[in-house]
Structure formats: structure tokens, C-alpha cells
Amino acid sequence: MSPARVTATHNPLRDPRDKRLPRIAGPCSLVLFGVTGDLATKKLMPAIYDLANRGLLPPGFSLIGFARRDWADQDFGKIVYESVKKRSRTPFREDVWRSLSEGIRFVPGTFDDPKAFDLLAETVRDLDDKRGTGGNHAFYLSIPPSFFATVCEQLKRSGLSTAGPGSWRRVVIEKPFGHDLKSARELNEIVAEVFPADAVFRIDHYLGKETVQNLLALRFANQMFEPVWNSHYVDHVQITMAEDIGIGGRAGYYDGIGAARDVIQNHLLQLLALTAMEEPVSFDADHLRSEKEKVLSAVRLPKDLAKGSARGQYAKGWQGGEEVSSYLEEDGVAARSTTETYAAVKLEIDTRRWAGVPFYLRTGKRLGKRVTEIAVVFKKAPHLPFTDTATEELGQNAVVIRVQPDEGVTMRFGAKVPGAQMEVRDVTMDFGYGRAFTESSPEAYERLILDVLLGEPPLFPRHEEVELSWQILDPIEAFWAKTKGGIDQYTSGTWGPRSADNLMRRDGREWRLP
């Protein structure tokens, strides 16, 4: 073979650390509990196919479904096929599907049925023999937290959680990680009795998004940002996750949980930690997690939660050209429910870098548009050598990291308006992933599932982070529970309740309009 014909994958002279080489999982299988749920059919199954289509799964990779259904292997295979055809990110290829489908198995049973888990153990051993999975198996618990203890106990009893020499067993846990600090600690203790800490992967799909990871590159790979990323220059930070949809058919889960537990405790506090943390020694899991934990442990709540937090419920309104119902009119919602669909809170971080800089977190349903972003808003220049009229339309500089949709980064700064007069006005410089790179960004679950199979944990919060997050949120939830009277209403399609606007105006600030 001539040198020109040697591929990058097989070049013996190529440094194995070369980042151009794809990370390909070794022999393994994924056991999926909760295969009939929306998460499995809309996200997990398409992500698995997309990984296979990109050549990132081993030839013998196997997918085992476990559910209370009277299905054979081919019935489950049809469910996966339909999910993949409808929702996969990459083009559908019959040869890839045939290879993937050969490793699809299904085990019927309930979570409290020992015989079903014995059959699952037998199925896993059969895959080791026939598909060469090598005793390496990940268990994905896409199920309500109330079943975690039962499933973990069954995995332990059946021997499924015990890895043989040279092999591994891992467990993947979807949020919510408890509903308060007490339940989170109980859940962590249950899982720790069955799996060692380095085998537990807690999924927060926001941390798998390219733009969230790009935040680390933005801060630590560029000299122009890090020197001003502190209280000397930053006025405040706004972290927003807004949805333009209601709760849909999730009333059974959502009512009683609310926006703060559903989003702030995990997604937004993780984004806060990544925005505010110090530079880690490396991006290994231990170093990255350690810096995030330092930030979360330094978070301080406002002394007056009545003025430093806000919550509300969406009322009737118009959205997307159609009239939508209120939260209290949704099927399955209690008539007098006080569960919030909007939550906002002001936090501060007691560190040298961030002392005096407020972090405003907000999330809500039925808001003006779907957007998740981190906005770092800078102080105004201490001196402007212009007349007041020249800068009356000049606002504050800002760096905005858009997590979704239209992933990218926007910078807002002042520039002169063309013409004879000196007039300075805000302009934006915009970087978009879709325009800058020819390859589309993989879905978050593609990255996270692959990291699980590779055993690379940097993007997964460990139990210390989970507990620190609950320590922040629990006092807020307790305050709201004691607050007498009804909950603020906001019209669907707007940007939240008046109390949230007042939270900002007390500080002389306004929420951004994304």
C-alpha cells in the first residue's frame, strides 16, 4: 500500500492522542429500562443509532430493552426502528440498521420480578458469548426515581451489577436526583450500595450540549475573556431557560415538582458553576468537578427571599397563533395547585472573583420563545468622553452564550453610527455553530451515551454536586411553601410574572429579551 492510501485510522505512526481520531467504544451492551417512555423513543434510541451510523459503536454492540410488555426481540426491534426512522439526526442507512438490529434483545418483566432479572442476567451472558460484549454492560435507568431502589436491589441480587475481571458494569441515572436534599442523600446511598462511585453516571443532558462545553473553551482558551471575567468588570449574569410550550401530558410528574426543582436545581445551577468556576488543573473529571463544587459551596441566597425570588403560573393566552389554556386547566393538574411553572432567583457567590456580582436564574413554561442562554453583562465604562446625546442609545457590553436553539455566542458592544454626527449605539457580533462548522453538532445524548460506554465522566455531576444544589434550593422551596396567598399568574406568551420584573428592578436592572 502506498503512503497516500494509508488511512488516519490505521496509520501506525499516528499519535494515539491525536484528536482527529474518533473515540470508539469497546465491546459492550446497553440495557435500557423504561423503553416505552418518551425519553427512550425520542432521544435515546435515535442517539444510539446515530452513534452507530457515525462508526462510534463496536461491531458487537447490543441493546437490551426491559419493560412490562409481552414482546419478543423483533417487537422491540420494530419500536427501535420506528423511533430511529422518525427522529435520527443522521441519514438512515439499511446496512447500519441491519448490523445494529442483530444485537437487539428484549426481556419482559416488572421491576420487582426476580425471574425477569434472572432472565436478563442470562441474556447478558448470552451476548457475551455470541456478540463478544466482553462482560461490559451499562444499565440506563430511564424510570421514575421511586423505582431506583428496587431496580438496584435486583441488579445486585442477580449479579448483574458485579463486573468480572477486566470488565465493567455502570449505571446511568436520569434526573430528578431526588426532590430535596434528604431524598437525594437517600438515593445516593441506595446506588452506592450497589455500584462504586466511578461507575455511577448521573445524566444532565444540558452538559452534553456543544455550546455548554464551548463555554469552557471560550473562557480558558482565549486570553481576551478571562482577564475581565470577574467582579471588576462584570455587572451581573443572567442564566435563562425559557420554553414556549406548556406541560403537555406531564401533569403526573410536573404538578408538585415545579419549575425550580425541574430546572434550576440541576440545569441552571450546573450552568452557573461552569460560568463561575476557576480554571481547573485539567479537564479530567476530578479536577472539573472539584472546581464546580467550590462554586456551589460558595453560593449565597438573598437575605430576603420575598424580594430575591419570584414564581408564577401561566394563565390563558395566545402562543404560536393559537389560544392556549392555563396551567390549572391542564389535564391532571389539581384545581388549587400552587406548583410554579415559572421560577426566578437571585444568587451571589462568595469568592474573590465574584464578590458583589449577582447571578439571576430564571426558567419558565409558556414564555415568549424557546431559548437557553448565559448572558454575562459588563459594567459601563467608568468614563465616556462623549456628550450624553451621543451615547443615549448605548447599553452595557455583554457576552451571550446561546445553549439552544441556534447554538453560538453573541457579543454586544458600542459602535459609531455612520454619518456626520458622533452617535454610539449597540451592535452585535455573532458566532453560530451552524455557520462556522460544516459538521452539525451531535445531540447531547449522543455525547453522553458515548462517554458512559467509554467510562469518561467529566460531564456527569457526582453526588456532592447534587447535594450542594439541593442545599441551595431547599430553603427557597421551604420559603415558598410557607408563603400565604395564591401564586402569581402570567399570561401565556409573555416573559413571566410581574414579581420577576420587580426582582430585577429593585436592583436597577432588567431581564434581557432574548
d(CA 394, CA 396): 7
The answer to whether 243 is annotated as binding is: yes
Is-contact 108 72, C-beta < 8 A?
no
The answer to whether 379 is annotated as binding is: no
The closest alpha carbon to 100, from 148, 137, 49, 147, belongs to 49
The answer to whether 115 is annotated as binding is: no
The answer to whether 365 is annotated as binding is: yes
The answer to whether 68 is annotated as binding is: yes
C-alpha cell at 401: 452564550
Alpha helices (runs of H) in 102-173, residue ranges in sequence order: 114-130, 148-157
Question: Which residue is listed with cell 446625546?
Answer: 389
- Residues 6+ positions from 335 with CB-CB distance below 8 Å: 328
The sign of the torsion formed by the CA atoms of 109, 110, 112, 117 equals positive
Annotated active-site residue in 137, 179, 236, 267:
267
The answer to whether 75 is annotated as binding is: no
H helix or E strand, kind and range, residue 315: strand 309-319
The answer to whether 383 is annotated as binding is: no
Q: Is 287 tagged catalytic?
A: no
Q: Kindly list the distances between the CA atom of residue 126 and the CA atoms of 17, 80, 105, 108, 246, in Å, as whole numbers in the listed order.
A: 34, 21, 11, 16, 45
The closest alpha carbon to 210, from 372, 6, 7, belongs to 372
Alpha helices (runs of H) in 165-247, residue ranges in sequence order: 181-192, 210-220
Q: What angle do CA 296, 300, 303 make, to 5 degrees?
A: 160
Q: Which residues are catalytic?
A: 267
The binding site for NADP(+) comprises: 68, 175
Q: Residues annotated as binding site for substrate?
A: 205, 209, 243, 262, 365
